Amino acid sequence: MKMPTPDAGIISRRREIVERLRAIVPGEGVIVDEDELRAYECDGLTAYRQPPLVVVLPSNTQQVSQVLKACKEMGVKVVPRGAGTSLSGGALPLADGILLGLGKFNRILEVDYDNRCVVAQPGVTNLGISNAVAHKGFYYAPDPSSQIACTIGGNIAENSGGVHCLKYGLTTNNVLGVEMVLMDGTVLRLGGKHLEAGGYDLMGIVTGSEGLLGVVTEVTVRILKKPATARAVLLGFPTNEQAGDCVAAIIAAGIIPGGMEMMDKPAIHAAEDFVHANYPLDVEALLIVELDGPPAEVDYLIGTVEAIARDKGAVYARVSNSEEERLVFWAGRKAAFPAVGRISPDYYCMDGTIPRKKLPLVLQRMRELSEKHGLRVANVFHAGDGNLHPLILYDANNPGELERAEEFGNDILRLCVDVGGVLTGEHGVGVEKRDLMTHQFAEADLKQQQRLKCAFDPDGLLNPGKVFPELHRCAELGRLHISGGKLPFPDIPRF
Amino acid sequence: MTITTFKPDTAAQLADSMQWALSHGEPLEVLGTGTKRRLGRPVQAAYALDLSALSGVVAYEPEELVLTVRTGTPLAEVLPMLAARRQHFAFEPQDLGPLYGLPAGGGTVGGMLAAGLTGPRRIQAGSARDHFLGVEGVSGRGEVYKGGGKVVKNVTGYDMPKLMAGSMGTLTAMTEVTLKVLPAPEDVRTLVLLGKGDAEAVRALTSALQSPHEVSGAAHLPAAVAARSGVVARLGGAATCIRLEGFGPSVAARVAALKDELGADAVLERDDSLALWREIRDVAYFVQPAERLVWKLSVPPSEGARVAAAIREITEADVYFDWGGGLLWVAAEPGDADIRECLDGTGGHATLIRAPDDVRASVPVYHPQPEPLAALAARVKESFDPKRLLNPGRLYAGV
């Protein structure tokens, strides 16, 4: 992975840059000590590491604005960071850039039940928002697996999902407003407590922009009343194909479950060995279907789902009869990553989305790729929305194995695109999938996205080296190529 | 006045048209079937870009919850196709045809998304932008490009479709779009509470929305508006309406529970419910008199009643509430009052949905933005359409 070549001129001006930052963020808010900088050298994608030039931890919007403005004036790059849980390297630092940590923005500013929203600073954790409103029976719907640690600001940057997003949406569908700071220090408000923001939907673009457009300093999110009840059903199938058919049939019956997860045999075994959820071990595919809502609805739909599953060849079916049992069903799935971590020294988690009907084909091709690369793979799968999480097992201590794992991963992601899907369903592009972007997007597509970035950050100082495989100057991107002169297929005047 | 029309059949022809416009510096009015020409600021263009020939369903896969169509495809073709598979656009797109003096049932998929108009189910299912997954089109630079994807879950690159929703054709002439489709509810009932004042009604709607009963519509029709309804007029007086949708046994259980909690003066069955929420969605109460101005106000729901009171203080207006009090539809006499000043301190905004051309040319149709935001919006426009040739001025003067 090649990052932009560090600018030696910037690095040599480190002392001046630090002084300027210290004038804005006093005391311990500017970190220069090498050992302390190391704590920030990577995020959840630990294969890539780079200590930043300086870490700055501002504590209010005005400081963020001044830091960004100063960096723009000095031509210094900025990498924003929440809790650093990105699995795609979105917060990987730059040797010639400052790391802007939002950890001090950790307060919930307002809970507004009448408007069913929470206003929070970006460093509040995802779960922190749900916890703040739990006593009134409310919650914040998107629930990425890292929700104990990941921040709501990071969720906005990555447009995070979770197991419930088929029914309740991704981050973008649950954000009402943000306050953000542009690279030139401008502070903007997009949206608010009302449901529709006027003008261009800039919040829609900022959400999922991976820290390339601005730094979010305040967030307003929608909260929902917890469903009255939730029950899960475990379904085992002799083939992946039958499990996939069952998922399609459930949706065709008009049912959108709160969660619908699938695991393949290696993942089932790893999870069962780890948490003893009493999963069946003699099936090829396991579905966990969770139905939530009023008890009358859940009881009715559980029956329907069971009938569909029997019709599609399920050889195992068990319905949770208590909250404890439901949580046990989930325990195996939620522990799937660490469970796989137990059976392999290292694993690499992928995140493509495919049209669900392509699942049997993709799993077959994945088995072939597994042989080709000589590495095992276990699959967990957000079955409802086609979001695959293949876990590639490898041992970083064996020379060349990490590279093979990455090559295997790249083959999987290219396969996802080739069958009509996309490179990433919820983890983001970051540095990890950056160089694969040209497999999904044509040059014109990527250039138009980069022109949009120019509208926010014309000098390209915010989080460069992420998302886009090739950097272009905005002046070059803006140049027009006009070719037409003749009137094309003139139509008769009609109005 | 538009005099000449380009009507491309393919994205390549569309790109040619755009290249021609670029080389001549000629702005284009982008159109589907023209049902929303009276929405937005009037466009000054001698040439029209008619996308209605870019028509047809590219792929509809109900089990994948995904639909891909060319943008000129009539809604009259798409909506029945979805209904036949018991699916729908969950954001409940408005049909404003009659409000503009046109027949109902017109419009194209592209126009629906470009206008981003969303119905009562916004409170539960989100708006048009939340269901817009992928886009292909020609930018004002004359370049064919695509953004988003054709699967329901995707975070690869910037979420370009979001930006297209509600952009009124000012950024890109869209050729093909992919949408998320969802199962249509099997059943629907509406609880009606009668005779409530605005503030009391909004409080009742708030209670309903704070319940776990998955309310999918929360509207309040003050007496003068309810009297115009083909459904609730017979009940007499103001009508506060709460919609519950879903599977039969679930709807029955939730109706019973919510009735216990809030009390209800009437419960509308399926057909009456469908008719009522169509009226609410399409602003049917303000179709006549046609010379009245129609405003749409988006505010924090808890401010709805207060804003309505402020409006009534300055003008003779009819108001009704949707989105649990967060959406106000206002029919006002032309001229006098500045509706927008009633929003002061709420953070909300107002859109002038219906007014004569001369009014829409002088009164900002879309809510004026603070300077830094307006500047950013102008730069975003420029990144797609540097010569300002696509529907110039339709959204904001100069954009």
The C-alpha atoms of residue B317 and residue B32 are separated, in whole angstroms, by: 33
Range of the domain at A78: 8-101
Rounded to a whole number, what is the distance in angstroms from the first to the last CA of chain A?
56
Picking from B2, B210, B349, the nearest residue to A198 by CB comes out as B349
For residues A298 and A359, state if they share a domain: no
Which chain B residues are within 8 Å of A492, Cβ to Cβ?
A: 5
SS3 B217: strand
CB A44 within 8 A of CB A91: no
Helices (H), chain B: 11-24, 75-84, 109-115, 122-125, 160-164, 198-210, 223-226, 248-262, 270-282, 304-314, 357-362, 371-384
pLDDT digits 0-9 by tens, A293-323: 999 999 999 999 999 999 999 999 999 999 9
ipTM rounded to 2 decimals = 0.96
Find the helix or strand (DSSP H, E) in which B6 lies.
strand B4-6
Closest Cα in chain B to A423: B156
Q: In the prediction, which pLDDT does B338 show?
A: 86
Tokens of A268: 């089932």
Residue A259 has pLDDT above 90, yes or no: yes
CB contact under 8 A, A442 and B165: no
For residues A240 and A327, state if they share a domain: yes
Q: In the prediction, which pLDDT does A488 show?
A: 65
CB A256 within 8 A of CB A166: yes
A462 assigned to some structural domain:
no
CB contact under 8 A, B153 and A353: yes
| Number of A–B residue contacts, CB under 8 Å | 318
Q: By C-alpha distance, which of B66, B81, B44, B194 is closest to B132?
A: B66
Q: By C-alpha distance, which of A443, A375, A365, A435 is closest to A404?
A: A375
CB contact under 8 A, B157 and A441: yes
CB contact under 8 A, A449 and B302: no
Over residues B271-282, the mean pLDDT reads 98
Picking from B22, B61, B126, the nearest residue to A480 by CB comes out as B22
Q: What is the 3-state secondary structure (H, E, C) of B9-46?
A: CCHHHHHHHHHHHHHHCCCEEEECCCCCCCCCCCCCCC
pLDDT-derived band at A337, boundaries 50, 70, 90: confident
The C-alpha atoms of residue A370 and residue A376 are separated, in whole angstroms, by: 6
- Name every residue whose Cβ is closer than 8 Å to that of residue B221 and which is 6 or more positions away in sequence: B229, B232, B238, B239, B240, B241, B280, B285, B320, B321
For residues A325 and A418, state if they share a domain: no
CB contact under 8 A, A355 and B118: no
CB contact under 8 A, B153 and A251: no
Which chain B residues are within 8 Å of A251, Cβ to Cβ?
A: 62-63, 65, 183
CB contact under 8 A, B149 and A421: yes
CB B262 within 8 A of CB B208: yes
The C-alpha atoms of residue A75 and residue A10 are separated, in whole angstroms, by: 8
For residues A263 and A355, state if they share a domain: no
pLDDT digits 0-9 by tens, A208-226: 999 999 999 999 999 999 9
Over residues A194-205, the mean pLDDT reads 92
Q: Is A193 in CB contact (< 8 Å) with chain B?
A: yes
Q: In the prediction, which pLDDT does A494 show?
A: 39
The C-alpha atoms of residue B46 and residue B4 are separated, in whole angstroms, by: 7
For residues A306 and A357, state if they share a domain: no
% of chain B residues with pLDDT over 90 = 96
CB contact under 8 A, A424 and B19: no
CB contact under 8 A, B347 and A194: yes
Boundary (domain end) residue, out of A32, A67, A101: A101
Boundary (domain end) residue, out of A367, A399, A428: A428
Please give the distance of CA A392 from its chain centroid, rounded to a whole number: 19
Please give the distance of CA A410 from its chain centroid, rounded to a whole number: 18
Q: Is A256 in CB contact (< 8 Å) with chain B?
A: yes
Picking from B63, B127, B246, the nearest residue to A251 by CB comes out as B63
| Phi, psi values for residue B14, rounded to 5° | -65, -45
Picking from B7, B62, B142, the nearest residue to A252 by CB comes out as B62
CB contact under 8 A, A200 and B167: yes
Q: Would you call the peptide bond into A266 cis, given omega within 30 degrees of 0 as the criterion?
A: no
Q: Is A448 in CB contact (< 8 Å) with chain B?
A: yes
pLDDT digits 0-9 by tens, B88-110: 999 999 999 999 999 999 999 99
More confident: A319 or B3:
A319
- List, as ranges, residues 119-158 from A with C-beta within 8 Å of B: 137, 158
For residues A361 and A424, state if they share a domain: yes
Residue B263 has pLDDT above 80, yes or no: yes
Q: In the prediction, which pLDDT does A493 show?
A: 42
Residue A480 has pLDDT above 80, yes or no: yes
Which chain B residues are within 8 Å of A209, Cβ to Cβ?
A: 158
Q: Domain B288-367, what architecture?
A: 2-Layer Sandwich (3.30)
Q: What is the 3-state secondary structure (H, E, C) of A442-465?
A: CHHHHHHHHHHHHHHCCCCCECCC
Closest Cα in chain B to A112: B302
Picking from A187, A426, A444, the nearest residue to B155 by CB comes out as A426
pLDDT-derived band at A145, boundaries 50, 70, 90: confident
Residue keyed to tokens 């979010």 = A216
A414 assigned to some structural domain:
yes
Q: Give the mutation candidate from B153, B167, B251, B388 for the A interface (greatest A CB count, under 10 A).
A: B153
Closest Cα in chain B to A359: B64
For residues A235 and A331, state if they share a domain: yes
Picking from A182, A425, A485, the nearest residue to B155 by CB comes out as A425
Residue A456 has pLDDT above 90, yes or no: yes
The C-alpha atoms of residue A24 and residue A38 are separated, in whole angstroms, by: 23
The C-alpha atoms of residue A57 and residue A29 are separated, in whole angstroms, by: 5
Which chain B residues are within 8 Å of A489, Cβ to Cβ?
A: 6, 8, 13, 16
Q: Is A111 in CB contact (< 8 Å) with chain B?
A: no
Query: Where are the domain boundaries for CATH 3.30.70.240 in chain B?
Result: 288-367
- Running DSSP on this structure, what letter comes out for residue A5? P
Closest Cα in chain A to B186: A254
Least-confidence region, from A253-257, A368-372, A417-421, A490-494? A490-494
The C-alpha atoms of residue B208 and residue A333 are separated, in whole angstroms, by: 34
| Average pLDDT, rounded, for chain A | 94
CB contact under 8 A, B250 and A297: yes
CA distance A231 to chain B (A): 15
CB A86 within 8 A of CB A153: no
Please tell me the number of Cα atoms within 13 Å of B67 on its side-chain side: 28
Over residues A435-440, the mean pLDDT reads 97
For residues A306 and A401, state if they share a domain: no
For residues A19 and A81, state if they share a domain: yes
A487 assigned to some structural domain:
no
Q: By C-alpha distance, which of A399, A409, A285 is closest to A347?
A: A409
CB contact under 8 A, B150 and A355: yes
Over residues B236-246, the mean pLDDT reads 97
Closest Cα in chain A to B251: A297
For residues A332 and A349, state if they share a domain: no
Q: In the prediction, which pLDDT does A495 show?
A: 40
pLDDT digits 0-9 by tens, A274-288: 999 999 999 999 999
Picking from A137, A195, A491, the nearest residue to B5 by CB comes out as A491
CB contact under 8 A, B212 and A294: yes
% of chain B residues with pLDDT over 70 = 99
Q: Domain B1-184+369-399, what architecture?
A: 2-Layer Sandwich (3.30)
- Judge residue A494's burial from the number of C-beta atoms within 10 Å of its C-beta, 0-12 exposed, 13-18 middle, 19 or more buried: exposed
For residues A332 and A369, state if they share a domain: no
CB B76 within 8 A of CB B56: no
| Number of neighbours of residue B129 by Cβ within 10 angstroms | 24
pLDDT-derived band at A490, boundaries 50, 70, 90: low
CB contact under 8 A, A297 and B16: no
For residues A294 and A364, state if they share a domain: no
Question: How many domains, chain A?
Answer: 3
Over residues B155-181, the mean pLDDT reads 98
A258 assigned to some structural domain:
yes
CB A284 within 8 A of CB A237: yes
Query: Can you give the length of chain A in residues?
Result: 495
A217 assigned to some structural domain:
no
Q: Is A69 in CB contact (< 8 Å) with chain B?
A: no
Over residues B113-129, the mean pLDDT reads 97
State whether CATH 1.10.357.10 applies to domain B187-282: no
Q: In the prediction, which pLDDT does A492 show?
A: 43
Render A204-230 in DSSP notation, one character per residue.
HHHTTSTTSS-EEEEEEEE-EEPPSEE
Picking from B139, B157, B250, the nearest residue to A437 by CB comes out as B157
pLDDT digits 0-9 by tens, A52-69: 999 999 999 999 999 999
CB A346 within 8 A of CB A337: no
Residue B383 has pLDDT above 90, yes or no: yes
Q: What is the CATH number of the domain that holds A309?
A: 3.30.70.2190
Which chain B residues are within 8 Å of A437, Cβ to Cβ?
A: 156-157
A175 assigned to some structural domain:
no
Please tell me the number of Cα atoms within 13 Å of A39 on its side-chain side: 8
CB A170 within 8 A of CB A141: no
A420 assigned to some structural domain:
yes
pLDDT-derived band at B325, boundaries 50, 70, 90: very high
C-alpha distances (whole Å) from B375 to each of A153, A269, A453, B396 are: 24, 56, 14, 11
